[in-house]
Structure formats: C-alpha cells, structure tokens
Structure 1
C-alpha cells in the first residue's frame, strides 16, 4: 500500500506538482491520532481502519480512493471449507478485533446470513502468524490483508473463500484512500 508514496517522493513527482513533501515516521498504534492531531497532514490507508474512530469523532476526511482488493477470507487447503457458508461454526483467525480483515470478514459473513457474533469463533494472532495458526490447527480459516494473503496462497497453505479483489460487491470498492486531517 505504501510503496507509491515512497516511489513518488524518490522520483520527485510531488516536487513536479509544486509540493514540498516530507515523510513522517509514525507508530502504528498512534497512527490515527497523530493524523487527527496534525502530526502529519495527509496519508493513505485502509478505509475500514478509520470507520469506527470517525464514528467516535475522529476529524479526518477521505479525499480519493487509491486501490482495491487487499482483503481476503481464506481457508486452509487441508480443510473442508470451500464457501462462506462452510465457515458457520468454525474458528477464524484475525490480526485483531476491529481490524480491516475482521471488518471485511464480518461483512462477508453477514451478507451470507451468518451472525459473526454467534456463528463463528474469532481468534486473534499477529498477522504474520496466521498461517502458523492454520498449520497448527488453531483456526479453520483466516481473514487477512496484503501481503499475508498472497504469501499464504503462494505457499499453498490456503484457498480463497472471499476475495475483495474478485468477489462482488467488494471488487468495486476501494480498500485504501487518501486521508487528510480535518
């Protein structure tokens, strides 16, 4: 997601447009607050990451969509989960409650008549350990974002059950947007 910003700075694209840009390092846990408090003026990030904070008063604005399709729900290739309906009663690993993969999985489940608060069990693991959780049988499926989803596919550990890049209606939605402080 962030590669275009670094590339644009390195290649001088911002300067060509008359913009004096400096990159600001920020800790992930404080990202939203630092933006809202003016620690930096503009960024791009996963839209879902900002929805709850905006609902709670975070003063930021979405100005443009960046790209689509970085969220997935995936099941282990050794299991018998092939469709969203097969997730009912299963354990789903996520990188955190309230994270974009968790929100995406909730949307997918709800759209398929599965109550995400009752019909599945959520298990939290660091994003980089979701594949290990599948390997160890601690979860039956995972909800993840890039690059984790592609890495798990390339390793042959998972199959896609829901893919924001390919499945309607999600394939027509932006996952990341340009966001400015209010």
Structure 2
C-alpha cells in the first residue's frame, strides 16, 4: 500500500484555574475513585458490551457528529455514509460545520463527536475547553507554499518576509508554521505574520503582497498542478512530520466518562472508514466529491493527494506525537512551562477507548469492505 506520499482564541484564565482545581481534587480523592472503579468492575463482570451499552445515558438517542467540511476530517461522515455507524447500532445526525464551531458545539454538549486538527484543539483543551481526544484521523494535510517561480527554497529564506496564516494569529495555521520554524532553528519574530483570506492568497502572492502561506494540500493541489505553487515545508511529506497524526477524533470529556461504550462505537466506525479510505483512494475521492466533502476537476491530482495521507495511525503513535507537541508548545510559549507534561497529556488525550490491537482488527475490516453504492 502506498505510504505516505486548524488554535481557537479562547481566553481561559478562569478555565485554566478551574482545570487546575479539578486536577487537585482528583489527586485528593484518588483512593475513593480507585475503590469505586473496583466496585464498578465487579458489577460489570460477566456483562456483554451491548448490555453495558444499554445502561449508558446516550443509549438509544440520536448522536450528533460533526465533520465533512474537508476530506481530512471526514472519516466519521464516511462511516455514516457507508453504514458503519448503523452497523454499530448508532443513530447519527451529521452536521457539516466549520471546525471551530464544531469544537465548541461538542464542548457545550450540542454535538457529540468532532474531528479537528491537533494544533487547533491542544491549547484550548488545556485552557479549559471540555474536550478529550480519543483517536487519530490521518497524517499530513497542510504545507507552507510559495510561488513556483519565487527564489524561496527553505523556511530560512523567508526570514523578514510576509508569511500568511489565513486563520489568524493564535490559530492552528499559526501553530503549524511555528513548529516548522522551531524545527528549522527559527523564532516567531523572524517572520512578518499577516492574515489574508485563503481564497485571495494566490493572487496576493502574485501581487507581491505576501511571500508564502500555509494551505491545505487539497486546496493547493490545483495550483501546484498548474505550476503556480510549490511547497517548501510540509506536514505531509517532510521526514520530521509525515508520520505524525494531524487530526484527531474528540468528544466531550464528560460524555466520554458517562458513555465510554458509545464513544468506542463511534471511534470504531470512524476507524473502519479511515481504513477503507486508505485502501480505496479512487473510490473515496469519488464518494467525497459526490457528497460535497471535497471539490475539484483534476481527479488525478485529488487521487494523488488523498493517497499521500496515512489514514491508519496507531494510538501509540498519536500519544507519542501529543507528548512531543506538548514539549514543543512549551518551548514556543503556547503552554505554560511550569505545567506537568503528564497531567497535560491526561487532560487532552485518552487512548484507552480503542486499543491498537482492536484498531488493527477494525482496520482489516475496513480494508476488506467493498462499497457498491453510496
């Protein structure tokens, strides 16, 4: 098989304080929590997953899943389209909304499942946004682009130049570019960060208003094909980023605590869809075109980009990446250096929802699934 070629502005001083308070309470009550867990395990002994599932508050209700605004966050929607959600016994309603709106909807209980970029979710969750990441969607998806005929070959060539981050300062775009710079020995002050709408970026480059811009690879594909743009740094193809998950499945933290089996079923369905996408590139592109998840006329280019992502990233690799991102974000000043890294990881991540052994089984089912219609 071929391999393997967005931060919300939440001012959260109070939220951080509350989060810290909760952490202290958990430590203080650790013994009681352990006892309660043992009792619960005893009560659950001998019960099947479906029997336990029927005891959850979310059992039997319609679940709201968000995604499908772009191919990289669409596995959960593809899971619904291909019947994997129904196969898990889940009744779902899909909301195709922007990632920031989707994150807030899930955090406030208005929706149940979101797929978004790790660089968009990490800082807000640490600052009190009530989400928990529970699995990985895929690798890659964004790169730093310049005009094909420009003299810029590396990030260091852009020192003092205007670099566009379409989503604005503090956004996922900003965080991604900062990591590029960090890996290349640069500082944030080395670039003149500007904000130009994505739809106007290419013209702004051609007019000399900006020198480079972070873009989604799917968005940039047609311009690369036309010889207008080329990437100089990439989450998708560069050795230090290409194996990292870019996007993650997330749920409301309280929802996860009360409905672990419901969450497991949603993640399992999404993972099965991810494996199907990974092994059925041309079909998945056509499905996404048919359902308005992606657009474009150059099918060959769309297939190439779709196939350059790894849609099957283990829980272990996701956790490893999150640990690295926490440390790099501390160095960048995006996270308070005094905060305990292990506690931060526990705040943003729960990899126990589906084990890697379970994932491998689900992925095999997804690879072997043949869709006859959608």
- Determine the structure 1 residue equivalent to 2:93: 22
In structure 2, relative to structure 1, the CA distance for the partners of 1:78 and 1:102 (3 Å cut) is same
Secondary structure of 1:152 counterpart: helix
Aligned mates of 1:46, 1:84 — CA distance in 2: 22
Asked if 1:121 corresponds to 2:192, the answer is yes
Could you report, residue by residue, the CA deviation over 1:109-135 in whole angstroms, capped at 9, with x for unpaired residues? Answer: 12212111x211011011222112111
Matches within 5 A, 1:33-72: 33-72=104-143
Residues 146 and 152, structure 2, Cα contact 8 Å, conserved in 1: yes
- Determine the structure 1 residue equivalent to 2:45: none
Aligned mates of 2:215, 2:244 — CA distance in 1: 17
Which stretch shows the higher mean deviation, 8-17 or 151-160? 151-160
Secondary structure of 1:172 counterpart: coil
Residues 102 and 114, structure 2, Cα contact 8 Å, conserved in 1: no
Residues 127 and 148, structure 1, Cα contact 8 Å, conserved in 2: no
Aligned mates of 1:25, 1:79 — CA distance in 2: 37
Residues 118 and 246, structure 2, Cα contact 8 Å, conserved in 1: yes
Matches within 5 A, 1:100-139: 100-116=172-188, 118-139=189-210
Q: Rg larger in 1 or in 2?
A: 2
Aligned mates of 1:61, 1:26 — CA distance in 2: 19
> Unmatched 5+ residue regions in structure 2?
1-71, 254-374
Secondary structure of 1:131 counterpart: helix
- Determine the structure 1 residue equivalent to 2:288: none
> Unmatched 5+ residue regions in structure 1?
none
- Determine the structure 2 residue equivalent to 1:4: 75
Judging by fraction of residues, say which structure has more strand.
1
Paired residues, what number?
181
In structure 2, relative to structure 1, the CA distance for the partners of 1:29 and 1:59 (3 Å cut) is closer
Residues 94 and 130, structure 1, Cα contact 8 Å, conserved in 2: no
Aligned mates of 1:171, 1:165 — CA distance in 2: 5
- Determine the structure 1 residue equivalent to 2:15: none
How far off is 1:99 after superposition?
2.5
Aligned mates of 1:166, 1:26 — CA distance in 2: 28
